[in-house]
Amino acid sequence: MSAPLVNVQAQKVPPLSLYVHMPWCVRKCPYCDFNSHAVSADGVPEAAYIDALLNDLDADLAHFSQDWSQRPLQSIFIGGGTPSLISPNGYVRLFAGIRARLSWADDIEITLEANPGTVEQGLFEGYRAAGINRLSIGVQTFQGEQLKALGRIHSGDEALRAASTARAAGFERINLDLMHGLPGQSVAAACDDLAQAIALGVTHLSWYQLTLEPNTVFYRQQPILPDEDVLADIQEQGEVLLAQAGFQRYEVSAFAQADQACRHNLNYWQFGDYLGIGAGAHGKLTLANSADITTAPAEIWRSTKTRMPKDYLAAYSAAQSTGIPSVAAYQAKLERIASIDLPFEFMLNALRLTNGVPSAYWSERTGLSPNTIASTLAELRRQGLLEHTPDRLQASALGLRFLNRAIDAFLPEHSEPASR
């Protein structure tokens, strides 16, 4: 399926970000359902993979043809896998290639995910010099026995050192990933993890509950997790600790100091656009047929790249033989979001934000009339699941507790027909 050639005016379509997926890790963790693959004895094929990433980007830019000079990148997020297995010089080359193809906002946010077991100060300094200005460090917990149970390759001491080493290397914006609800975890242990993270002086915490996802070792061999009462106490006491330390909860599992929210993730949740390159990467793009998508139908496309690194690299080899970057070679799935599915797609993201999004975003970013969701909004407000704020689409405190219920109300079988 091919997308039409269109002429997009950037100021009338959502902000644009770029997601880059690095699929290799030292060892696959038993809870992880991300597209990650243990690195072979031959190591990461860094040079070939970066060549493939840039060729993948060329294919997307050609396929979704528009005036890309008018759509500067607001953020780049490098996820995995373990992106810190790639050298700083590798990122220098990658960024040079991206800048040759797309303009960047002057204050672009560039985030790198890092594993505490794969970094030291020299690497952090190299990443900072390459242009990366935000780190997301996958700590998960500081408790040694829990780290072993989770299959992590780092120790609690290495996790503590990683944050301080990153700061010494010049990083001011640092996120730590922490999980709670771990096997056998007590309320005190979960809060101790938070207290240690807070003491490190980081600016952002992604604090989320362990879930047992299909296609993981933990799903097949399920550990004993804390019961619902313990989980509720962890959540309640943890949120108090975070608030006392100046962290504001701005998304279901994201907490930030003032002005330190992750701009890349905000763009996701605000139904912005993002290119996705790399094995298994996802993308979303709005193709406008006029200067204002609220007056002429827009097309919103989602893409998924082929998952296996070997297949992804094979796609690059095939492109090399023809000399033409082919979007079909990299795509595992490419589809236009049907209008009837847009209410659910939009709310699945927007209602995760504790302050929601401006009501105007609905029409601006879907091209659909407010009437499309009016009756559903009224019913959810009657139930107390949404705030009674006409200028914002925002879950109430009750709605955040029962978020799936609120979001599911926008599924096609529950929604009114789409109108423009």
Q: Name the range with the highest mean pLDDT among 211-215, 221-225, 265-269.
A: 265-269
Is the separation of the CB atoms in 375 and 416 below 8 Å?
yes
**β-bridge mates for residue 18, sequence order:** 76, 275
pLDDT tens, 60-79? 999 998 889 999 999 999 99
Higher pLDDT, 160 or 4: 160
Note the pLDDT of residue 7: 34
Q: Per residue in 285-344, pLDDT tens?
A: 998 765 554 455 579 999 999 999 999 999 999 888 777 777 888 999 999 999 999 999
Q: pLDDT tens for residues 233-249? A: 999 999 999 999 999 99
Beta-strand ranges (E) seen in 167-324 are 173-180, 204-209, 248-251, 254-256, 273-277, 282-288, 298-305
Nearest to 284 by CA among 347, 344, 215, 337: 337
What tokens were used for 197? Answer: 């993270």
How high is the mean pLDDT of the chain?
A: 90
Looking at the chain, the whole-number percentage of residues with pLDDT higher than 70 is 93
pLDDT at 183 over 60: yes
State the pLDDT at residue 415: 57
Model confidence pLDDT, tens digit, residues 121-138:
789 999 999 999 999 998
Q: Determine the Cα angle at 71 with ends 66 and 73, to 5°.
A: 130
Hey, how many other C-beta atoms are within 10 angstroms of the C-beta on 222? 11
Phi, then psi, of 301 in degrees rounded to 5: -115, 145
Instruction: Please give the pLDDT value at position 419.
Output: 47
Q: What is the pLDDT of residue 320?
A: 84
Sign, CA dihedral 332-46-268-117, equals: positive
Asked whether residue 163 carries a pLDDT value surpassing 80, the answer given is yes
267, 19 Cβ separation under 8 angstroms: no
- Cα–Cα distance for residue pair 127/214, rounded to 1 Å: 34
**pLDDT of 350 over the 70 cut:** yes
| pLDDT value for 97 | 98
pLDDT exceeds 80 at position 154: no
Cα distances (Å, whole numbers) of residue 24 to 36, 46, 49, 310, 332 = 5, 10, 11, 11, 19
Query: Is 150 a residue whose pLDDT tops 80?
Result: no
Give the per-residue pLDDT at 289. Answer: 63
pLDDT at residue 214, rounded to an integer = 87
- Residue 217 is predicted with a pLDDT of 79
Give the Cβ contact number of residue 410 at 10 Å: 22
Phi, psi of 202 (to 5 degrees): -75, 165
Q: What percent of the chain has pLDDT over 90?
A: 71
Evaluate whether 112 touches 78 at the Cβ level (below 8 Å). Answer: yes
What is the average pLDDT across 375-379? 97
d(CA 271, CA 385): 21
What is the reported pTM?
Answer: 0.91
Give the count of beta carbons closer than 10 Å to the beta carbon of residue 217. 15
Which residues partner with 73 through β-bridges? 16, 104
Taken in order of first residue, the domains within the chain and their CATH numbers are: 10-267 (3.20.20.70), 340-420 (1.10.10)
Let me know: does 228 contact 191? Beta carbons within 8 Å: no
Query: Comparing 19-23, 77-81, 174-178, 285-289, which segment has the lowest mean pLDDT?
Result: 285-289
Residues 6+ apart with CB under 8 A from 244: none
